[in-house]
Amino acid sequence: MTDVPVQRIRNFSIIAHIDHGKSTLADRLLQETGTVESRDMKEQFLDSMDIERERGITIKLQAARMNYTAQDGEEYILNLIDTPGHVDFSYEVSRSLAACEGALLVVDASQGVEAQTLANVYLALENDLEVIPVLNKIDLPGAEPDRVAGEIEEVIGLDCTEAIQASAKAGIGIDAILESIVKDVPPPQDNVDKPLRALVFDSYYDAYRGVVVYFRVMDGTVKTGDKVRFMASGKEYVLDEVGVLAPNQVKVDALHAGEVGYLSASIKAVEDARVGDTITLATKPAKEPFPGYVEATPMVFCGLFPTDADQFPDLREALDKLRLNDAALQYEPETSSAMGFGFRCGFLGLLHMEIVQERLEREYNLDLITTAPSVVYRVTTIKDEVVLVDNPAHLPDVQHREKMEEPYVKMEVITPETYVGTLMELCQQRRGAFIDMKYLTPGRTTLVYEMPLAEVVTDFFDQMKSRSRGYASMEYQLIGYRVNNLVKLDVMINGDPVDPLATIVHRDKAYGVGRALAEKLKELIPRHQFKIPIQAAIGAKVIASEHIPALRKDVLAKCYGGDISRKKKLLQKQAKGKKRMKSIGTVDVPQAAFMAVLKIGSDS
Ligand SMILES: Nc1nc2c(ncn2[C@@H]2O[C@H](COP(=O)(O)OP(=O)(O)OP(=O)(O)O)[C@@H](O)[C@H]2O)c(=O)[nH]1
């Protein structure tokens, strides 16, 4: 299976906006080349994680090798490297694109260019990839391939005279796509005589073999039994196995420059073989690693606390296990006066955060309270020290702060013209600074804003979707830190400060947010036997206060007489309702209350 001449290898990716048909097309290509038998075909072979499948999004990259006999009669090896479809994972996208020479740009012909199409296509062009436009879903009655081709030419500047019209679902245009990959994507460079350099574009943890690493050989050759070095982590291993992804793993003796494959070497955790790292031979190392390695830095943090304090060791164990497979996940123990023991966890973004939370609950059966997400603030103290603060509760007191900076993003929103007004209003409410507005094509507009990341992580996406009836799309990238007039908003429940409810807001918004938060908490916290005051404060100054009136009746009073079973049922029902509550002092606070601040961001 190896020793294919490099002229007959093609390495490519598929880039697309969510739902434009990337996975469906990948499946078709696998089927058409006979790589996967139709009867083996689970729907969407490449998206293998359950959560991904349920949400219909691609998170982890994978790869597949296809054999294809082209119209010129030659047999080619086509390596498809899949890319995750979400802004949180754009670094992984860039690394998998770096492993390719070409990309299929799939655009839904009934929709058109979206924010993610653009972001991905720019990444592909930065990596010098040959981009092949594919107008997908032409089977739909609403498809307008000519209009969309014009849009791609106009917006991206790609020649679309030969854009392929396709339907991944109905199997139209698939041969044309395969031929175009062979004809238009350049073969890899023949660098087999150079010292080994292989680029890691994905890795996952396997309980039996240790980490399995997916890589593209850029230069040289790698063989089973070789002693290799990961140039960024500095770790060295003897290879137990190398092989190709056909798409199941098939062992081979060696892989040469231009090829794509996997290796295993009893590596203990993915952080020792990170995406973007370069593999070389320990005995004859390359001088320089492949450029572009970056260590993933978490952008969003939250607290995770077990509802039941006894589950703390289980939570630690679960995080340790997840971490084996997720080098971007960070966590450290956190003690909160209100919540007890838990962990402060760092994530690449909101989706990454949700995935981890969901896996902890589903796969490890933990009952968790999650606090609202926070970004990382940069505080300069009066002693001129710089402190990074990922937890509002740990913000140095105002008298110790010289200045405070927050992360900013450049946000691009693509929307039908009708929603421009309401979306501009939303961006302005979120402290966005207007930068640009362009008409992509008649009727479709792109808005560019610079905005604090903190305003994006408080459900900007949902707001944008609901204001545009689902039609707008967005992308953002970090552009650095900026000084702002920020304050910490504390919350007291029944007189006790509740540190996980503390948040950092702009001074101009503090009163509005404080009032809305107090009202929202009043709504969310159930009544108790006693009256519960709720206050929001900046420093010692209370800026909003509410109270939850006491319950008047004993719930059991209704169950007169000795009807034990009914009483029991009622108590059980209450116990169920109590799940996902955290007792703070004598007050039971439900999970929703910890997220209350996310629900008020836009109306204050
Ligand atoms: N009518 C029609 N529907 C299609 C076609 N290709 C894909 N779809 C449908 O469009 C939806 C999204 O397709 P996916 O292949 O999951 O899209 P994706 O781009 O992989 O989405 P993510 O994995 O979320 O990035 C699915 O319901 C597909 O059945 C097509 O050519 N025609």
Could you read off the pLDDT of 247-301 as tens digits, one per residue? 888 999 999 999 999 999 999 888 888 889 999 999 999 999 999 888 878 889 9
- Residue 603 CB contacts under 8 Å (≥ 6 apart), including other chains: 516
Residue type at position 486: L
| Alpha carbon of 169 to ligand 1 centroid (Å) | 8
Backbone φ and ψ for 249, nearest 5 degrees, come out as -75, 125
CA angle at 321 for the pair 315 and 323, rounded to the nearest 5°: 100
pLDDT value of position 61: 41
In this structure, the number of other CB atoms found within 10 A of the CB of residue 558 comes to 10
Percent with pLDDT over 90 in the chain: 56
Q: Is the ipTM of this complex over 0.95?
A: yes
For the CA of 166, the nearest atom of ligand 1? 31
Listed residue (451, 345, 352) closest to 390, CA to CA: 345
Q: Whose CA is nearest to atom 4 of ligand 1?
A: 169
| Alpha carbon of 24 to ligand 1 centroid (Å) | 5
- Residue 132 CB contacts under 8 Å (≥ 6 apart), including other chains: 102, 103, 104, 105, 164, 177, 180, 181, 184, 185
pLDDT value of position 354: 86
Q: Could you tell me if residue 83 is left (phi over 0), alpha (psi between -120 and 50 degrees) or otherwise beta?
A: beta
pLDDT value of position 229: 97
Q: How far apart are CA 525 and CA 519, in angstroms?
A: 10
168 lines ligand 1 (CB under 6 A): yes
> What are the structure tokens assigned to 147, written together?
């209009």
pLDDT value of position 596: 83
Q: How far apart are CA 414 and CA 431, in angstroms?
A: 19
pLDDT tens figures, 54-97: 443 443 447 899 999 999 999 999 999 988 766 677 788 888 99
Q: Is the torsion defined by CA of 354, 360, 366, 372 positive or negative?
A: negative
188 lines ligand 1 (CB under 6 A): no
582 lines ligand 1 (CB under 6 A): no
Residue type at position 136: N
pLDDT tens figures, 113-128: 888 888 889 889 988 9
Answer yes or no: is pLDDT of 431 > 90.
Answer: yes
19 lines ligand 1 (CB under 6 A): yes
pLDDT value of position 449: 97
Answer yes or no: is pLDDT of 432 > 80.
Answer: yes
For the CA of 136, the nearest atom of ligand 1? 31
Confidence band for 1, pLDDT divided at 50, 70 and 90:
very low
Is the pTM higher than 0.95?
A: no
pLDDT value of position 418: 93
> DSSP code of 63?
E
pLDDT value of position 88: 76
85 lines ligand 1 (CB under 6 A): yes
pLDDT tens figures, 320-341: 988 887 888 899 999 888 888 9
pLDDT value of position 307: 85
Listed residue (128, 134, 96) closest to 113, CA to CA: 134
For the CA of 106, the nearest atom of ligand 1? 19
581 lines ligand 1 (CB under 6 A): no
Q: What is the mean pLDDT of residues 16-31?
A: 90
Q: How far apart are CA 203 and CA 167, in angstroms?
A: 32
Percent with pLDDT over 70 in the chain: 90
167 lines ligand 1 (CB under 6 A): yes
Q: Whose CA is nearest to atom 8 of ligand 1?
A: 21
- Which residue has better confidence, 392 or 583? 392
pLDDT value of position 82: 85
pLDDT value of position 553: 60
Q: In whole angstroms, what separates CA 601 from the centre of its chain?
A: 22
Which of 135-149, 453-467, 541-555 holds the top average pLDDT? 135-149
pLDDT value of position 56: 39
Q: What is the mean pLDDT of residues 511-516?
A: 92
227-230 and 278-281 strand pairing? antiparallel
pLDDT value of position 123: 86
23 lines ligand 1 (CB under 6 A): yes
165 lines ligand 1 (CB under 6 A): no
Pocket test of ligand 1: the residue of 15, 23, 144, 165 to mutate, having most ligand atoms within 8 Å of its CB, is 23
For the CA of 172, the nearest atom of ligand 1? 31
Q: What is the mean pLDDT of residues 377-392?
A: 95
Q: What is the mean pLDDT of residues 571-595?
A: 73
> What are the structure tokens assigned to 318, written together?
């679960």
Confidence band for 604, pLDDT divided at 50, 70 and 90:
very low
164 lines ligand 1 (CB under 6 A): no
Q: Whose CA is nearest to atom 9 of ligand 1?
A: 21
| Alpha carbon of 151 to ligand 1 centroid (Å) | 20
Answer yes or no: is pLDDT of 183 > 80.
Answer: yes
Report how many helices (DSSP H) and strands (DSSP E) the chain contains, helices first: 14, 33
Radius of gyration of the chain (CA): 27
Query: Taking every pair of C-alpha atoms in the chain, what is the biggest distance, in angstroms?
Result: 90
57 lines ligand 1 (CB under 6 A): yes
- Which residue has better confidence, 551 or 265? 265
First-to-last CA distance in the chain? Answer: 62
pLDDT value of position 52: 46
140 lines ligand 1 (CB under 6 A): yes
pLDDT value of position 38: 58
Answer yes or no: is pLDDT of 603 > 60.
Answer: no
> What are the structure tokens assigned to 156, written together?
């991206």
How confident is the prediction for the chain on average, in pLDDT?
87
